[in-house]
Amino acid sequence: MSKTAARESAREAAPTPEQPARLPVQHRTVAPNEAGWRLDRWIRTHFPGLSFAETQKLLRTGQFRVDGKRAEGSLRLAAGQTIRVPPLPESATEPPSASSDKRPLTAAERAFARSLLIYADARILAFNKPAGLAVQGGTKTTRHLDRLLEAFAKGGERPRLVHRLDRDTSGVVVVARTAEVARELGFAFQQHRIRKLYWAILVKGPERNEGEIELALEKRGPKGREKVEPVEEEEEEGRWAKTAFKVLARAGKIAAWVALMPYTGRTHQLRAHCATIGAPILGDGKYGGKEAHLKGAPKGLMLHARELELPGPKGKPLRITAEPPPAFRAALSWLGLEQPELPGATLDDWPPR
């Protein structure tokens, strides 16, 4: 390793008062017995302390690289390839503990967790996450869905997250009861075999009643204030993203109730795509600026994960539906939009991919 690279590695790994100690940047070689493994399996084997969501974020942002190039988790490895491992917490090399927050849940927290549950079977749990509740913890975030999963632990095994929603987005979140199911669903998400439908209220609304938005996205900006922005597809860091939309009802030229189907799962994809076509999500000041706030409208980000369809254990699709929160219904009522006027409000109105 060069002196410059060594300094960079040490600098990236150095702990701060707010952060735990981190491992330095590493460059590891794929062993002969690991040939043919998927990259995500390699990461899971070497760094069992990383959660699925953490791994996916690191892959999405290009922090794990194979032979110097960005790679999807589904990439099949060859012996002798070099994997760039980003600075990770020292805990990444240890199997995950039951919970990163050791405080036991209070009776009120357990009751709150149970109130969010909308589906349960032997394999999964599904929740209707309210806007404002983070899916995972972080610096200064101690109240989150991942911590609440302790209320559903059985036989020492705690349910595991397999995907996530933004803090300010409401709707369906599915978790796996076991590690085996988490792996199955993780692969299904990566292979785009899970269909998701969102409801949103867009300022002005799209020009057409249905269509697709296909724009590569890249995260930019200073730490803590990052945004994803559209980039030219030929730019190295831009990641292809595609969203389909159907207008369900219009409130003149003021706003529209729209169904959104993401074909890819980029960070803030729906918010960035809608803002790019001049129809930001109501309440989304981060991407829509002042234009996203209509005077007198109910407060909050009007984006709701309405339906999720995933493969069932016997091949029959399982569909889970979450009712929108009061603020979303209040915004529809404020606009005079009580019922959908056009098809697209359910997955039945969308052809299978």
Is 166 assigned a catalytic role? yes
3-state secondary structure the chain: CCHHHHHHHHHHHCCCCCCCCECCCEEEECCHHHCCCEHHHHHHHHCCCCCHHHHHHHHHCCCCEECCEECCCCCECCCCCEEEECCCEHHHHCCCCCCCCCCCCCHHHHHHHHHHEEEECCCEEEEEECCCCECCCECCECCEHHHHHHHHCECCECCEECCCCCCCCEEEEEEECCHHHHHHHHHHHHCCCCEEEEEEEEECCCCCCEEEEECEEEEECCCCCCEEEEECCCCCCCECCEEEEEEEEEECCCEEEEEEEECCCCCCHHHHHHHHCCCCECCCHHHHHHHHCCCCCCCCCCEEEEEEEECCCCCCCEEEECCCCHHHHHHHHHCCCCCCCCCCCCHHHCCCC
Annotated catalytic residue, options 67, 121, 146, 166 = 166
| Residues annotated as part of the active site | 166
